[in-house]
Amino acid sequence: MKYAYFPGCSLHSTAREYDLSTREVASALGIELQEIPDWICCGATPAHITMHLLSLALPVKNLLKAKAMDSCEVVACCAACFSRLKIANDFMQNNLEYRAKVNEIVGENYQGEVKVRHFLDIIVNEYGLKNLQQKVVDKLSGLKVACYYGCLLTRPHEVTQLDDLEEPHLMDDLMKTIGVEAVSWPYKTECCGASFSLTRTDIVLKLSGDILQMAHDEGAQAIVVACPLCQSNLDLRQAAIKKKFKKDFDMPIFYFTQLLGLSLGIDPKKLGFDKHIVNPAKLLKEKVYGL
Amino acid sequence: MIFKNFSTLSQNSLKMKWFISHNTIKSPFLKALENDSGVTVSHCYQCGKCSAGCPIAYQMDYLPNQIIRMVQLGLEEQVLSSRTIWLCASCLTCTSRCPRKIDIAEIMDYLRRLAYKKDILPKGEIGIPLFNKIFLKNIELFGRLFEMGLIGMFNILSGEFFKDMDLAPKMFLKRKIGIFPRKVKNMQEVRGIFRNSGRLGRTRRGKLLYPKLIFLNLLKKTIEKIEKLK
């Protein structure tokens, strides 16, 4: 399996461990990820708030670069990048008016030929959980996590077509396959405050605090995510949440690729566990094995 | 907390007492919006599902369903100067749950873009519109997000000079944030996309940073700090 890989800005900075663990997992499973050369930012939320055409043209430029690599499928790991690329692709396929305008902007002809997929989708639906089961070396039994999907992995459903809208289960299925217990909880697709991290930190603290509280109440020891923004809001802001609401959760926030990597027998040092703000060493030492 | 929310809600409903003339209802605002965005706002029957699911409703001056009603009634000025449109996090909960298939998040996007075009910005929520502009400027300059530049520029222009300074050393040590931007090679291509999008979308891109906006915000922050001292 060969894919064009779009890491996105976060995976090269604040979510470096997501990038590291994704590459490790992919190579362990024989999935070839080729980074799109000289990729540019997808524009994220500020682009579609400010200039509609720009929010389509930036992702389309990346899709064109992927197309030039002779790759018909692009893999993104960041839920926001995935959503932006997928929405832009959908516009290029179905909206002739926008297709003409965006093609004029990027100066090339694109009609939505490339397929956009999330890495979680590749693992669960393409590689298959049955195949994965045979590759699992270490079952991470004893670990109890809450799978948190966030907003943009499943929404808008007409475009992403990835998972159930209100009760997604891809990550839960994956966790069960590697022996991790996934708790049933109601905040799977609740919003963490997303891009208000810098502008309205108070909103982020409240929403992320609610998510941590709910996961804690349902008995989870950690939260598993598939989005760098969710991870940074829950992990980086946990100290501030502790200060403001006087609640100490001490809950590590993992990327699904990190736990998957552990179960595949990849050296924990290569999976970037040292980059977390809430130190996961204690939990992993207790529940899994020495880190 | 719940009582506090109720009190803000009742204040809003008091504020909602406007005189709406025949001309307002017949204004081209609704038609233009439906035409440009492709969303049929007139289908809304006010079930309130959008507001019930909205994670940020507790901070808004008008609830999402109230905004939709205001759009239906042609209350352009009130809608564009509301804080609600900027507080929308684009989480798409409302859009995915609407029984009338109205893309409410797209309406919020449309309204924000219109507010930028008309230079109408809410006095209470200047940080968010400012952040969007700085973010895009950052992409235009480097092609990829340069977090350090974004945070630095935002802190300076928003008047919160020492915000998140406690987190910076940790981020540096864990190599999660760099001091220098990682520019893409073909910057001309990126600039071209920005230039062309601005031209085709008829957006005044030259006004990427509003001096008026920045000044107002700094003034607000200073007043707040003085009041705190009192």
Rounded average pLDDT per 10-residue block, chain A, 291 residues: 93 94 96 95 93 95 94 93 95 94 94 95 95 91 93 90 91 95 95 90 95 95 95 94 91 96 92 92 73 47
Residue A145: strand pairing partners: A182, A222
Which residue from A37, A55, A35 is spatially nearest to A46, judged by alpha carbons?
Answer: A55
Which residues in chain B have their CB less than 8 angstroms from residue A203's CB? 56, 59, 87, 89
pLDDT of residue B19: 83
Collect all residues with Cβ–Cβ distance below 8 Å to A216 and sequence separation of at least 6: A249, A251
pLDDT of residue A271: 93
pLDDT of residue B8: 54
**Gap between the Cα atoms of A91 and A59, Å rounded:** 11
Which residues in chain B have their CB less than 8 angstroms from residue A191's CB? 55-56, 89, 91, 93
- Count of beta carbons in the 10 Å neighbourhood of residue A37: 13
Which residue from A2, A144, A151 is spatially nearest to A71, judged by alpha carbons?
Answer: A2
Q: Are B73 and A32 in contact (CB under 8 A)?
A: no
pLDDT of residue A25: 96
- The H or E element spanning position A290 is none
Q: The whole model's pTM is what?
A: 0.92
What sign for the dihedral angle of Cα B167, A278, A43, B131?
negative
State how far residue A2 is from chain B, nearest Cα, in angstroms.
Answer: 24
State how far the alpha carbon of B189 is from the alpha carbons of A10, B141, B195, in Å: 21, 12, 10
pLDDT of residue B167: 84
pLDDT of residue B25: 86
Q: Are A43 and A54 in contact (CB under 8 A)?
A: yes
pLDDT of residue B3: 44
Collect all residues with Cβ–Cβ distance below 8 Å to A67 and sequence separation of at least 6: A110, A113, A114
Share of chain A above pLDDT 70, in %: 98
pLDDT of residue B14: 55
Strand order in the sheet with A73-76: A32-35, A2-6, A73-76, A115-118
**Gap between the Cα atoms of B150 and B140, Å rounded:** 12
**Gap between the Cα atoms of A254 and A222, Å rounded:** 7
pLDDT of residue A291: 47
Beta strands in chain A (DSSP E): 2-6, 32-35, 73-76, 115-118, 144-148, 181-182, 222-225, 253-255
Tokens describing residue A36: 């799109």
pLDDT of residue A148: 96
State how far residue A32 is from chain B, nearest Cα, in angstroms.
Answer: 23
Which residues in chain A have their CB less than 8 angstroms from residue B116's CB? 50
Reported ipTM exceeds the 0.90 cut: yes
Q: Which residues of chain B have pLDDT under 70?
A: 1-16, 204-210
pLDDT of residue B205: 64
Q: Are A267 and A289 in contact (CB under 8 A)?
A: no
Nearest to A57 among B55, B164, B197 (CB): B197
pLDDT of residue B162: 81
